[in-house]
Structure 1
């Protein structure tokens, strides 16, 4: 969904929906969630009632877990007040295979998103203007849109076959507002073909759309939070929390790969790839670049940032409280991060009790006095946030020091992390 900014940036927010009322995006679904045991690591924060909590000791079974192939249907909706100027095939190509490719790289091949686009437009019963689409959509209008969309498509789509539902509106209809693209989470599921539909991605993007917009929205389907900051008056900078460094912060980021914390939450990193740094440190470890996948790309050579096994250590964690932690990961120009502004070890704070949209993750700037990549970065003050080889950085307020010693012959990063009150040796 577009923001009122001169530079194009992320345009999305999640919402919680019921037929009669809607709960704010930063609230949690009131229906009880089912917990499935997940990470047993001592540095895995506990999942809380916060909407899209960053806790990962259990998986919220109300969401599909992307550790297997999932099927997504794309339903294309036209309206009586406009004749479509694009085809379903053209709109499909706007999003796929780019969305599937992003997740394949981010998951190291552990997750496949299979798109099943419908081939024809399905006519809605009312004009596009009747639904009053906008970012903060009126619950009654949104409910009417979803009821009508499901009603007209149910006879042509077997919803029981799909894990993810995309309702894609004709981008040229007069009432379609690209600012309204979002995931709608249902307190009371819709019912079709003997299956419950608990969430729907409503797509109102222009043609061509914002880069990776559907990947961002699909991230919400997997219980990932919004990481951007929405100014109270809608004006100002939206990207102050994480800058370019995660898709859930900005789909326009130079390094939009998902944080290692998110990959751990989604089941794409094993516990053995996460190092819990004890308070009795210091700890010396080797961090492999986050985007390095299993196997070595044909273009990579020993010493290049693309070189790596993809099976090494990806994340180091220092617990700072019952619901908080510091995370350390290496970001190199590989995988989804090939356009990154700077390479090095990125430090960020994680809170499992902070709801989506309130800063559950915040990048710590290792170079607060400088900015970088003005032409491409969504937030230049954080574009050079990583700690680079030869640098030592003490995290403000935590007295935890990270020192990046060097790069290994395989392109990984040798790192020393010293918790509070421990001598750095």
Structure 2
């Protein structure tokens, strides 16, 4: 393999040191990686990405694109001795408040983007739990969702256009800069959530929204999760569209500094002056014990902070064990059934269970763990039964974390071989040499 090109073209932006490179071969999932890689390269513009892909084709070398590696399904892991492509230096952003768009490089962090947008009274609504470190490119590859998904949806709803470099070394301009765009097949949505297997994103045109004037929020405690979930369904049925509806079960609540009760974080964006009216309505609808109320945008976001510690609470509970965080979604009306079913499946197989997630859009994150000396057999049985439960409820085994490595078998069962065969053909079209993030999804 000729790596002189990398040394010559990238200089100190190509890291060969094995110790440093080893920091880039894994993501936030529990998957352990032992193999070494060629190194890590840090392109600064699209032209360099094109040349990098063409080099990879010539040398038959896999490329593993990476943002900040916060993925929980193994889709940012280097699975074979290849080259990690870190996009952290492609972080330019252009904001057009009149058109209501931002043109961002893949390395732009979502939180930093929103800091800049706030100067214009705008924001980018997609709000994953890892928002402080998640990048635009990573969120696109993963099809990220998050805490404001109840109102604003996921990345597929907010990406207007893309520039990508395919596995052929071609540059494609997809979508538009306009809100309305019907210029052939919707390839933008094909790439959103493709986990870096079809092309490398070099630029994204993102749709923006005005920051709501104000918001109201409550933190309510419940003795049982079923009642909590039923209240979220009831709030929606009463024509209140939550900005966020998040929850932590009692053990997790205690781990993040709250009372050891099931906690519901419910927020609604409102016009200034309507805060008390909405709070009154929430008091009437919610059967839980309201422990805290917030009026105003900043106060509502602050109230949500303990929910952002879900991942850290789950790590604490596992106490060095192998933590497995799942990512399922069911129709909102089926959430009570899902909660009851998950608890029953966990009890059946004798595995620990922590529950939390985005109940406002039907997305749950069941977490369990096992000790290495005991092995994963019980957890694997739990996951199998969990997938069967989700299928019966017309749900999905991957709402926002992607398929990656961890969910390939679950995706096969959910999609079926015929659908997967079409996906494989698409992969061959855009990446005929199988150099882009191989080993993921299929």
Q: TM-score range by the shorter chain?
A: under 0.3
Higher helix share: 2
Normalised to the residue count of structure 2, the TM-score between the two structures is: 0.26
